[in-house]
Amino acid sequence: MLEAHSHKKLKQILQRNPSSWPNHLTLGRLVARSIRRKDKTLIQLDPFSQNSWWLGLLFPLCLGKNKAVLVVSDQQRRRLLNFEIPRLSDEGFPLACWEGVSPPLEDQLWILSHYELIEAFRCGFVKSRQLIFPEADLLSRRFREAMNLSITHEDWERLLRAHPQSQSDLLDIYENLTQSLFAKSLRLGEKIQVEESELLELKDLIQPLNPIFEPWTSFLKLKNYDWVASAELNHKCLNWNLTFHPLEPFNLLFDLFNYQPFLLITCSGENRFFQNELSSANISLNVIASLNQPSSQEPISLFAPFRQPMPNTEIFKGHLLEQSRRLILGRSGITVLLLDDSQLRRQLTSELAGEFGTRVVHESTDLDSNGVVCCSWSWWLSHHPQVPLPEQLIIALFPLGSLESPLVAARVALMKRHGRDWFRDFLLPEALSLFPSAVAPLRLNKGRVAILDGRLRGRSWGPQILRALEPWTPLHRLLPD
């Protein structure tokens, strides 16, 4: 049986090359079982797993014939091809791999990006194959990026050149959209939501044109209620680019998950938000397993004073600057400051750099030993493996989606139409799901977390943030080392 064979061989490798991660054998058996049974499995690993899970995932794929499809990000592909597969080969277990949208002719592990998977699925190439998704808790984000449809200024010009007889009407719509979008713009760099009525008018005009070409053919196929359009403005040239984002990628890819087996591996602990995403799209699971390790239970020191101002008050910016200075002063290790508001983050970075000099950087992995990196939550979650373990994490603002984002606003509007509580069913659970991974490096380094967002104590949902950070011990005052 594949599970027993995999367990025996993997144990021999680990005896020759000991590892501090305790779940290799268990993960290997679970993966082998899922491959053999071709079921729908979710394996939940804690944030400390990082890249340790590769051996347990790949080893069962080396031992038997399979028609597995491994769906990876660019970063994962580089690690897989440059490190993990050569390591298996050195141990005497070569793993044959195939890349590209066309399927392999033999029993090889088929490696695809998320975009390539969607293309292969549309061509009918992935039927009966088992899909494997590492870091599946990021799946909706990665599918959304892969499914985005962009229409640039150059695409407009191609359309005008291809249909000179309709040029006047097309230019009228373009100019009307330009005036509408720039009138809504309040600051540089923001994305503006495009109204559905404006897109319908454009579709009605383009529909009769023949021939039509990409990306316009894909634009005509979009169902407006499943997508939201945002425009990125170029104030220097007074033009703009359109991007269409799927509201709920899992709903659009239901057939992909409904008609073939899959294995999902998450690295954010027991992620209820991800499970709810699957459930909302009627994607069922046969097996759910959770693997933790003792280090995930190491408590962190939490500094969260009472009576802090709310983010919407005039004094909040000054509060952030003053408290951040106090927290950074005299620290000998790395400090990470998390803040999604890009304008406020850059202002804070500039102010702190004036105080602490070049040790303060903005979203850079090039840090001094006592460096301070100011970054968004998404940047930190993507780049923390490249940053030395921090001594301190300052949470300036909770990662609650902003209604200024066209995508967030459209998803909220959709939930309102269905009579759902958009804050407690969407914004809050999504934010809570980010905390375990964000603070995991602090547990390894026995560091401290400081929360400067006054909503922790001033809102009824604040205790849920504290529960998401457990285990922790309170730090009532700042003392010198």
State yes or no: pLDDT of 92 exceeds 60. Answer: yes
Please answer whether residues 231 and 194 qualify as being in contact, where contact means their C-beta atoms are separated by less than 8 angstroms: yes
CA pair distance 369, 294, nearest whole angstrom: 28
List of residues 6+ apart from 402 with CB closer than 8 A: 340, 341, 408
| Tokens, residue 254 | 């239901």
State yes or no: pLDDT of 293 exceeds 80. Answer: no
Please answer whether residues 153 and 239 qualify as being in contact, where contact means their C-beta atoms are separated by less than 8 angstroms: yes
Who wins on pLDDT, 235 or 379?
379
| Tokens, residue 139 | 């799946």
Comparing 17-21, 122-126, 384-388, the range with the smallest average pLDDT is 17-21
The pLDDT of residue 295: 57
The pLDDT of residue 34: 93
The pLDDT of residue 275: 92
CA-based angle 443:348:315, to the nearest 5? 100
Indicate the pTM of the whole model.
0.89
Rg value, the chain, Cα: 25
Place 406 in a pLDDT band, splitting at 50, 70 and 90: very high
Place 308 in a pLDDT band, splitting at 50, 70 and 90: very high
CA pair distance 198, 214, nearest whole angstrom: 20
In terms of Cα–Cα distance, which of 155, 3, 135 is closest to 77? 135
The string of pLDDT tens digits covering residues 422-449 is 999 999 999 999 999 999 999 888 899 9
The string of pLDDT tens digits covering residues 154-163 is 999 999 999 9
Place 296 in a pLDDT band, splitting at 50, 70 and 90: low
List of residues 6+ apart from 31 with CB closer than 8 A: 6, 43, 56, 57, 59, 60, 61, 263
From the candidate CATH numbers 1.20.1440.230, 3.40.50.300, 3.30.460.10, 1.10.10.10, the one assigned to the domain spanning 298-399+434-474? 3.40.50.300
State yes or no: pLDDT of 364 exceeds 90. Answer: yes
The pLDDT of residue 231: 93
CA pair distance 7, 36, nearest whole angstrom: 14
Please answer whether residues 118 and 146 qualify as being in contact, where contact means their C-beta atoms are separated by less than 8 angstroms: yes
Beta strands in 307-348 (DSSP E): 335-338
| Tokens, residue 2 | 């594949």
The pLDDT of residue 72: 96
List of residues 6+ apart from 248 with CB closer than 8 A: 140, 226, 280, 281, 411, 414
State yes or no: pLDDT of 480 exceeds 70. Answer: no
Residue ranges per structural domain of the chain: 2-140+254-294, 147-246, 298-399+434-474
Comparing 180-194, 274-288, 334-348, the range with the smallest average pLDDT is 180-194
CA pair distance 423, 332, nearest whole angstrom: 39
Please give the single-letter amino acid code of residue 139. L
CATH class of 2-140+254-294: alpha beta
Average pLDDT over every residue of 394-416: 93
Give backbone dihedrals phi and psi of 72, rounded to 5 degrees, phi first: -135, 160
The string of pLDDT tens digits covering residues 179-189 is 999 998 877 77
Average pLDDT over every residue of 59-86: 91
Do 2-140+254-294 and 298-399+434-474 fold alike per CATH?
A: yes
Average pLDDT of every residue of the chain: 91
